[in-house]
Amino acid sequence: MAEDKILIIMTSGPETPRRCATPFFFATLATAMDYEVTMFFTIDGTLLLKKGLADYVYPKEGGKSAGQFMREAIEAGVKMTACSASLELHDLKPEDLIPEAQIVGGATMWQMAEESKTVLTF
C-alpha cells in the first residue's frame, strides 16, 4: 500500500526533448519510495502520450527515448492521465493515445492536487 500521493503535472513535450526524461524519472523514483504517483499531461505534454511519438523524442542524443522513460514509469505503477481539453488543442482523439492514458477533465486535476502531498510541475 502506498503511503502518500504525488502529482506530477507535465506540460513539456516533443519540442523540448531535454525536459522529457526527468519528470518520468522522478515519477519512477517516487514509486520506489512507496508513493502513489499520478502524472497529468496537459498543454504540450499530452503529445507524449500519442501512440509511438515519445519513442522518437530523445532527451539526450544516443540515450534512452522519452518513450522508454515513460514505459519504465508505467511499469513501476505510475498512473498516466491526460487533460481532455489538451487533446482538442492538438486535434487528438482518445484512440490516438497509448492505452494506459486515462482522459480526465481539468477538475479532476484539481481534485488530484488536493489529495496529493506534493505537486510538481514540469
Partner 1 sequence: MAIIRGCNLPEDLYYYAEKHLWLKPLGGNLFRVGLTPIAGKLAGGKLNAVTVRAKNIGAEVQQGKSVATLESSKYVGPVPAPITGIVKRGNEKLAADPNLVITDPYGEGWVVEIEATRWEEEKAALLTGPEGLAEYEKKLEAAGISCG
Residues that bind partner 1 in the complex, under the rule CB under 8 A: 25, 28-29, 32-34, 63-64, 72, 76
- What nine digits make up the cell of 46? 499530452
- What nine digits make up the cell of 6? 504525488
CB of 87 to partner 1, least distance (A): 29
CB of 32 to partner 1, least distance (A): 4
Nearer to partner 1, 25 or 122 (CB): 25
CB of 5 to partner 1, least distance (A): 16
- What nine digits make up the cell of 84? 481532455
CB of 52 to partner 1, least distance (A): 23
What's the Rg (C-alpha) of the chain? Answer: 13
- Secondary structure (DSSP) of 24-56: HHHHHHHHHTT-EEEEEE-GGGGGGGBTTGGGG
Nearer to partner 1, 80 or 97 (CB): 80
Nearer to partner 1, 62 or 99 (CB): 62
Nearer to partner 1, 40 or 69 (CB): 69
Contact present, 12 and 55 (Cβ < 8 Å)? no
- What nine digits make up the cell of 92? 487528438
